[in-house]
Structure 1
Amino acid sequence: MLEVYLFINPISETCYQTEKKIIKLLAQAQNKIRFRVLPLLTLSTVSFAMQHVGVSSSIEHQVVDTLYKASLDYEAALFQGQKRGRNFLLNVQECTLRNNFKYTDEMVEKVAFKSHLDWELFKKDRQSDLAVKTFKKDQRIAAEMQITTYPEVVVTNTDFPDYAFSLNPQESFNILHKFILHPQDSVLCSNNHTHYLHSAKLNRPQKPIK
């Protein structure tokens, strides 16, 4: 089984378009695929987001706060199912981009209803310690997989668990396309945007200490 991890900025137009493109690709796959979208919040991604949007460094705190809130809300939405969580994320991105990157509680409530979330449950979950813990866990996964930019894809194959590969889906989408649709025939060659990662330890629980 393939496992596809997509690391994103939750309020990025580039990530929004990339998500839709990958979801469309996965719908064509014949093999079973586990797909996860993970928010990425680091100093480098904040800096990149500010430059991309064209905002001043004087509001860096506001940018970080928006990215963090959007990430936690996405984590909370996932508690009600992967499909609803991904729909929530796509709807959040669409609304945020349409409203000049403003992120308000009123907008979130509208998006939650549009995404068929239980609003009362979502309100509790978005303020919970579990949402924070889940977000921190995703940041650790990003660090283990050596992710520093977005959007970035990591693909692992449970039939060959010793290695994974990562790529920039904007610049090497053809490689991702071939591997998703024809994993048994794909020969992955390293290039400027694709590299191998030691992945054996990434998703395996550690053995208990006796």
Structure 2
Amino acid sequence: MVSAKKWTDASWYNQDQKPLEIYLFIDPLSSDCWALEPKIKKLLLEYEPYIRIKHILSSSLDTLNCQTQKQRQEIANSWNETAKKSGMPCNGNQWLKNPVESPFLASVAVKAAEMQGKKAGSRFLRSIQEQLFVEQKNISDYDVLLQCAEQSRLDLDEFTHDMNSATASKAFQCDVKIASEMEVHSTPTLVFFNENIEDEGIKVDGLYPYEIYSQIIEQMLEEKPVKKDLPSVEEFLMRFKIAATVEVAEVYDISTKEAEKKLKKLMFTNKVEKIDAGNGTFWRYIF
């Protein structure tokens, strides 16, 4: 389940004044990476003073080469299975009705967004995931990518230029190289590093309960961290803008029924809107 390996090349490490750095290897089209979202949100909320998350794109050959009907059916089945297990809404039928034609382009677009800063890149990554899993849009469509860039408050001229340059493509290839050299063979994979670059990085392949990631963070810190109190559900939506019912339930460790009750209260006060997405429900902050 959890493996440890030692990386001693200092060029990997960019601490940014946080005790821990987490390399998150992610495929924007992976339903398992989408299902990881509630856990990442909770880690950021509870351990924000201690952790820095760096996204590394590591698209699989399955999604980069999904042109045949058989390949699309396999991905559709995988999405539907993830939805059943995790509760995170994603409709595999999209791969049969409106498939992503060029996953490579979506990955290059993420790298182009990152050229405007780490936070800008993270906003754009979440935006294309929302377009894919919530709106069921084709994120290889140029207009959809521009819409995501606008929603992510990017400089559109700069984004367009960077996406069509060799720089973004090379940046994606660099991510793929890092994944290969770190022996990352699946997504999602998280690699935890502490302040001492000579220490072992702890690698977690796959999707696991939140407690696994929390335990690793607390074990790697030299002193027991003081976890931040969770914000109100309204403040949570103000920060992340959109969330599934199951995300709220998992972050606050409550039932989906209780989470929906809290979200409906916000809807009745016109602070959020409800979005039905095939096999699940999302809530968007609008106040």
Same-fold status (TM-score > 0.5): yes
The partner residue of 1:8 within 23, 26, 43 is 26
The partner residue of 1:79 within 115, 129, 146 is 115
C-alpha distance in structure 2 between counterparts of 1:46 and 1:125, whole Å = 21
Q: Which amino acid aligns with 1:10?
A: P
The partner residue of 1:106 within 123, 143, 148 is 143
The partner residue of 2:177 within 111, 131, 140 is 140
C-alpha distance in structure 2 between counterparts of 1:45 and 1:100, whole Å = 16
Deviations 1:83-127 (A, max 9, x none): 111111111011112344522111111111110000010000011
CA shift at 1:148, angstroms? 0.8
C-alpha distance in structure 2 between counterparts of 1:38 and 1:117, whole Å = 20
The partner residue of 1:120 within 136, 157, 175 is 157
Q: Which amino acid aligns with 2:220?
A: P
SS at match of 1:132: helix
CA shift at 1:42, angstroms? 3.5
Range moving further from structure 2, 89-98 or 43-52: 43-52
Does residue 22 (structure 1) correspond to residue 40 (structure 2)? The answer is yes
How large is the Cα RMSD of the aligned pairs?
Answer: 2.8
The partner residue of 2:212 within 169, 175, 182 is 175
Q: 1:124 to 1:131 in 2, by over 3 A?
A: same
Q: 1:96 to 1:21 in 2, by over 3 A?
A: same
C-alpha distance in structure 1 between counterparts of 2:28 and 2:48, whole Å = 28
C-alpha distance in structure 2 between counterparts of 1:30 and 1:105, whole Å = 34
Q: Which amino acid aligns with 2:196?
A: D
CA shift at 1:158, angstroms? 2.4
| Alignment-derived partner of residue 52 in structure 1 | 75
Range moving further from structure 2, 32-41 or 124-133: 32-41
C-alpha distance in structure 1 between counterparts of 2:76 and 2:65, whole Å = 10
Whether the aligned pair in 1 keeps the contact of 2:39 and 2:210 (CA below 8 Å) is no
Q: Which amino acid aligns with 1:80?
A: Q
Q: 1:44 to 1:163 in 2, by over 3 A?
A: farther
CA shift at 1:166, angstroms? 0.9
CA shift at 1:141, angstroms? 0.8
C-alpha distance in structure 2 between counterparts of 1:99 and 1:145, whole Å = 34
Deviations 1:133-182 (A, max 9, x none): 11111111101111111111111112252311111352254221122245
Q: 1:150 to 1:30 in 2, by over 3 A?
A: closer
| Alignment-derived partner of residue 92 in structure 1 | 128
SS at match of 1:28: helix
| Structural mapping, 1:64-75, within 5 Å | 66-75=102-111
SS at match of 1:161: coil
| Alignment-derived partner of residue 208 in structure 1 | none
Of all paired residues, the percent bearing the same amino acid is: 29
Whether the aligned pair in 2 keeps the contact of 1:2 and 1:158 (CA below 8 Å) is yes
C-alpha distance in structure 2 between counterparts of 1:115 and 1:28, whole Å = 24
Structure 1 residue runs of 4+, over 6 Å off? none
Does residue 164 (structure 1) correspond to residue 198 (structure 2)? The answer is no
The partner residue of 1:37 within 50, 55, 62 is 55
SS at match of 1:80: coil
| Alignment-derived partner of residue 205 in structure 1 | none
